[in-house]
Structure formats: structure tokens, C-alpha cells
Structure 1
Amino acid sequence: MTRILAFGTYNKRKHPRVGIIIDGLRQHGCEVREINHPLTLSTAGRVELLKKPWKLLGFAADVMGLWIRLRRDAKRWIRDNGRPDAVLVGYMGHFDVLLAHHLFHGIPILLDHLIFAGDTARDRGASGLKVKLLRHLDRMAIDASSLVLLDTEEHKAMLRPGDHGIVVPVGASEEWYEARSNAHKRDKGIIFYGLYTPLQGTPVIAEAIRLLAKRGVTPHVTLVGQGQDYDAVHSRLERLENVEFIDWVEPEDLPRLVAEYCIALGIFSTTPKGLHVVPNKVYQSMAAGCAVITSDTAPQRRELGDSALFTQPGSSEALSEAILQLLENPSKLEGLMKDAERSSQRFTAFEITRPIVRWLQARHEFAVIHTSRITDQREGR
């Protein structure tokens, strides 16, 4: 049985990606243990550090405190259990992987590099030296790992030729599939949830809703979350009675809420990052049984095929027409919901972790052959 140690300051409650990978590896028969001291700072908070550098000292102190605990627990674990076959460093592990590289000499380190720090910072308005420093951090993290896990082919293409990487779609956790089974759908309700970052394209969503209202089309729309573009979106839509704003939903409650809606909205920006990703909300919404409308980008069309409705990135007019298509054609809406449900089975924890398991098996077989050859040479065979 392959023994894997999940390691780092990842926070499964806020960022479920690493939890999905852990679940999938366990379903494949791997023994996965965790050394995890979560960092409570969100993705948005980490990017905020770029705009307020004076907060870096406090952040560094928090990280160092967690690292002391991680180092202590790692040494104790190895003493009591021996060396693991591989170490998995969770999402947002740019710093953690440097510590893992120091602690686990000679052990394969898998880095879940879901985002490039420099790319994300640029997408959120940073520039110049800040982006250069974060790109250097990306490079240090990649160099410290044995295998980089990326979510799309576009992100994999950002690696250098000598880097080792595989594509592992984000997928959805079991809670989203369970929510679909227990859901009572609202009649043609529409939901969006996210951080209101430029990647999301929420101003495009807001304008599409306004265009529909001008035509007398007013389905119930729920917008969940807060972030950079929240004020602009709220000011555009606050007078529309069919629009409901929810600033925050606990992660445990989100699957059940989303599953109540017939239509879920993905991302619609034209930023470079927006053209490179398939957001987790798309996988989650499909698992919850929603018909998904999202931007027509290469990675999303490649992963989702005919199981989503695609619109031109950045176009409020195209988005409003796509929504209208589904609202005016119940059979099309129902068909797309069924397609999403069927397609979502390709993005369970078990399915998305197949490439990781294959890599681990190949690595193990290579090690066995290499050890055998060394033994033969020593014995003069």
C-alpha cells in the first residue's frame, strides 16, 4: 500500500481542493495521513498582502509559528512511522513546499499548484516588482517539488520544459453530489457564488441581469459572496427586486443552497487567468445538478464539452441571451441539467486522482527495477 503524507498549512474548509485529492487517493487504496496546521488567511487575504506590504511581517510570523509545529510533527511522524512513499503539499503551498523539501530529503513531493501566484496577482491588479517577486516564488516552489499538479493544460503549459507536471481537474467533493440527491429545485432560479474578483467577471453578470430586466425578464437571482467588484455590482442591481445578495454562506451550507437552483453561473472575464481556468464552481454546480452557463474558453470547453452552455467572454449581451434561452425553453434547461449531472461523474475524487495514482505506480515500479539492478551489480550477476 502506498503511504502518502499530506503536509502543510492548507485549509480544507476554505479551499476543498486538497481534501478532494486526499479522498480520491484513499479511494484508490492509498494510505493518506495528514500533518496539517491550517493558515486561516484566505486567498483574497494573501493577495491583499501585495497591496499592503507592511502586513507581511505579521503574515511571516504566523507562517513561522505554523512551520515550527509542522516541523515538530513531521520529525515525530517519521520517527514513529518511517519515511512515507510521497508527500502531498496542499493548495496555496508555495511556502510549505520549501519546508517540505527541507524536511523530506529523497522523498517525492507532489505540489498542488492550482494557481500561479504571479499570474493571480497580475489578474487582481498588481504589477511591476510585486509580480516579479511572486513569479520568483512560483519558480522556487516548482523547483522544490518532484511533481506539479495543475488544473488545466493551459496552466501546465506555463511550466518550463524540464518541469514535471500532470493535469488534475479541480473536481467536486462528495457533499455536492449528496446535495443534488436531496435538493428541491427553485423554479428557474439562478445563482452565482464567488469572490467578485476580476476573474469572475461579475460586472458582466450584473449587466446581463439588467438587460434581462429591461426586457421584462426577472427570474429570481441570488448572488453569494463579496470581493473587489462587489460594490460596483451591488450599485447596479440594488433596485431590482428579483436580485438577492447574500454576503456569506458557510462552506458546509453552500452545496445545499446551490443545489436548490436550476441555473448556476460560472466565470465571464477576459483576463489572462480567466482564459486559463475551469473554476471550482463549475464542477461543483454540475455535481449539484445545475445547468451551467460559463465563458467559452478552451479549457472549459475541453473539460465540459456539451454539458454546459458557453457564452462569449466579457459579453453581457451574450450572457443575457444564454439565460433567456434556458428560461424560455424548459426542455433545453432540463436536458442541460441532466447532461451536467451525467458529466459530473467524470470529476469525482476517484476519477480526478487517476493520473496521480498512475504516476505513483510508475515511480514505484522504476524504484523497484533500479534497486534490483543495483543489487545485481553488487552481487556480480
Structure 2
Amino acid sequence: MRRLLAFGTFDLDRHPRARVLLEGLSSTWQVASLNRPLGFSTAERVRMLEQPWRLGGFAARLAGRWLQLAAGSLRYRGDRAPDALLVGYMGHFDVLLARLLFPRTVIALDHLIFAAGTARDRRASGRVLHLVLSALDRAALAAADVLIMDTDEHARQLRPRERRRALVVPVGAPARWYRLAQGRHGSRDADAPLSIVFFGLFTPLQGTPVIAAALRRLHDDGVAFRATLIGTGQDAERCREILEGVDEVTWVPWLEGADLAETVADHDVCLGIMGSTPKGLDVVPNKVYQGLAAGCAVVTSDTPPQRRVLGDAVDYAPPGDAAALAAVLARLSREPAARRALQVRGRARADELRGDRLVQDLDDRLRRRG
């Protein structure tokens, strides 16, 4: 069996995409991991760009992790040398080190985000910053043999010579989300208020003020529901202001791993994103895949990539439209049969999006490049 080494400073709990890829490939590859998580969230990285005096701490921590990765790479030489490397999500720097340490090995970079586009979406601006991050994007893409993108829209942002090395692999959900969901929805009290969950970093992409405004409208209109909002971030304070006095909403700072999956699976509806930023129109977010795997009815923004991947397995509202989102949720509250039918379609689509099915083309590409 060929050997695959997962390499970098990615965090499997904060960003489970790498877990999905590795789980999917583990049936056909002997998978090992050389991973030293950096410990900075995306929001913290963007904050450093806005406050350059913080970059020293980032550089020092990255240097320390790289020394550990370089030392650890000595175990993967000779007979233990990998046939391919997978550099995990947010590996813009890590892929440069991987190429230095493994110059002749096939390297796949999971390039879910462009650094310049993410900074722009998080409202970090400036021409010099954009030029620096664009250069980082180009250097990272040049260092990899296989570029893993999550949507066709993101792949189209690549230059022609980069696009020839690209492969679109949907984000998917880790296996434990499927396991923890089994049997939970069948025992739900049909007369209980509609239960809604959202989890995320409250970024502009996610459109959380729109979600908050929709929940406010449900409250004002007397719709029976309860909602759990998990996470914090850039737009969280604005959401709290919108939802002041809405007793149906419970706030949870954050949950990790199995606790998050278990909590989501205990709700009827999982919300995707509602942002109308350019980046928000190009993605199918991980929370949509995870909500489907957890057995929830999923409601998300009506965008081309989500329509193409999800079809009728989810319900939609136009991006940025709180009234339309509230109307969808009110209908699911009034019509439990429609909600159950949506959950059934969602579970069927989730089965089609399991990790081992998502990575079939990636498996083939890595073998042909090796």
C-alpha cells in the first residue's frame, strides 16, 4: 500500500477538512501524520495583518513548529519515505517547508482559501497587504503538484497554468458526525418547538446579522422555536444587539469535536451561511456538510455552488435576505412533515458525500503523479 504523509500546522478540530480527506484516503493509502498545530484561528491571523506588531508572535510560533516538523521529517526517509504529502488547510507557509524537506515527493495542497481574498472578506484592506498576500498565494500554489479546491468557483480563480494542477473536492464532514447522528432524530417530540442551531466564527461570509434578524422576526411573529448559536467573532456583538430580549436564543461560546457534533444532531434545523460577500457566494461551507451528516434539515443561502452540490437536499433563502430566511424557518415550524422530508433528502445526500466517495478522484490523481 502506498504511503501518504499528512504534513503541516493544521488543526483537525478547528478545521476538520483535513480529517475528511485523511479518513477518505485511509482505505487505499497507509496514512501517517506529521502535524504540529499552530494554534491561531483564521480570525487571529487576520487580526495580525491589521495589527502588524502582532506578527512577531506568529513568526516565532511558526518557526518553532517548523523546527519540530523538520526534526520529525527525519523519521520519514529511506524505506519510510512517503509516496505523497498532503498539506492541510491554511498551509500557505507549510507547503513551502514541505517542498524544501521533500523536494521530489508529490505534494497536494488543500487550498480552500486564498489569503488575499480571506483578508478582504474579513475587511482587512490596504494595497500593500493585498499585494503581499497575493504573492503568498502564488508561492504556495507554485510549490504544490496537486491543488485541492472545494468549489468550481474557487478553481476558476486560479491562473490557467495553476488550473491544470487543480482538482475540486467538496469539503465533506468527518465520519464521527455520521456516527453520532444515528438514531437521534427518530425520537424527537413532534410537538416540541422547532429547534435551530448555528455554529461558526461570525464572519461577514457567514452573514450572521442576517441570521440574527431572521430569528428576531420569528420571535416578533410569535413562531414557536428555540435556537442555539455557537461561537463568537467579528459580527457576534452586532448579533447580540439584534437579539436582545429574544429569550428563545441560547448562546454557547464554542464546542469542540464530538461535543459540537452531538449538540448539532440534537436540533431539527442546522443553518448554513447567509452572507452576500463575494467569498460567501463562492463556497459550500463545512457547516452545511456537517449539518447534513448530523441528520438535520439544512437551510442555507441560495448560491450557484450550493445549488450545484446540494440540489434539493437543503432549503434555501437568498443571500442577505432575513425576511426570506425567517419565512423558510416559519414554514418548517408549521409543517413538521415537510421538515422530516427535508431531513430524509439531506441524509441521502450526506451518504453520497462521505469522505471515501469524495476523494476518489484525488486518490487517482495522487497515484498517477507518484
1:188-199 to 2 correspondences below 5 Å: 188-199=194-205
Contact 1:21 1:353 in 2 (8 A): yes
In structure 2, C-alpha distance between the alignment counterparts of 1:60 and 1:50, rounded to whole Å: 12
Mapped to 1, the partners of 2:313 and 2:269 lie a distance apart of 13
The residue number in structure 1 matching 2:12 is: 12
Contact kept? 1:7, 1:34, Cα under 8 Å: yes
Q: Match for 2:328: what amino acid?
A: A
Q: Is the 8 A contact 1:285 1:292 kept in 2?
A: yes
Where does residue 341 of structure 2 map in the other structure?
A: 335
Counterpart in the other structure of 2:54: 55
| 1:89 aligned residue | 87
User: Structure 2 CA distance, aligned partners of 1:63 and 1:353?
Assistant: 29
Q: CA deviation at 1:182?
A: 4.3
Distance in 2, matches of 1:314 and 1:55, equals 33
Worse-superposed segment, 184-193 or 277-286: 184-193
Is the Cα contact below 8 Å between 1:308 and 1:340 reproduced in 2?
Answer: yes
Write the distance in 2 (CA, Å) between the matches of 1:120 and 1:134: 10
What SS does the aligned partner of 2:160 have?
coil
Alpha-carbon contact 1:185-1:259 (below 8 Å) kept: no
1:196 Cα shift?
0.5
Letter of the aligned partner of 2:268 in structure 1?
C
* Aligned-CA RMSD value: 1.2
Residue 82 of structure 1: how far off its partner (Å): 4.2
In 1, Cα distance between the equivalents of 2:330 and 2:131? Answer: 43
TM-score for the superposition, normalised by structure 2? 0.95
Which amino acid counterpart does residue 270 of structure 1 have in structure 2?
S
1:370 counterpart residue number: none
Aligned-partner SS, 2:258: coil
The answer for unaligned runs of 5 or more in structure 1 is 365-381
Give how far 1:359 is off.
0.6
* Partner of residue 201 from structure 1, selected from 203, 207, 232: 207
Aligned to 1:171: 172
* Count of residues in Structure 1 that have an aligned counterpart in Structure 2: 362
Partners of 2:115 and 2:137 within 8 A in 1: yes
User: Which residue of the partner structure matches residue 351 of structure 2?
Assistant: 345
Contact 2:169 2:359 in 1 (8 A): yes
Give the corresponding residue for 2:29.
30
What pairs up with 1:1-381 in 2 under 5 angstroms?
Answer: 1-27=1-27, 29-79=28-78, 81-128=79-126, 129-163=128-162, 164-183=165-184, 185=188, 187=192, 188-364=194-370
- Secondary structure of residue in 1 paired with 2:362: helix
Sequence identity percentage:
45
TM-score w.r.t. length of structure 1: 0.93
Contact 1:185/1:261 (<8 A) preserved: no
**3-state SS in 2 of match to 1:162:** helix
Segments of 4+ moved more than 6 angstroms: none
Query: Offset of 1:248 from its aligned partner?
Result: 1.7
Output the CA distance in 1 between the equivalents of 2:203 and 2:167: 27
Equivalents in 1 of 2:103, 2:320: separation in Å? 47
Greater CA deviation, 124-133 or 329-338? 124-133
Deviation at 1:174, TM superposition (A): 1.0
Q: Aligned AA for 1:263?
A: V
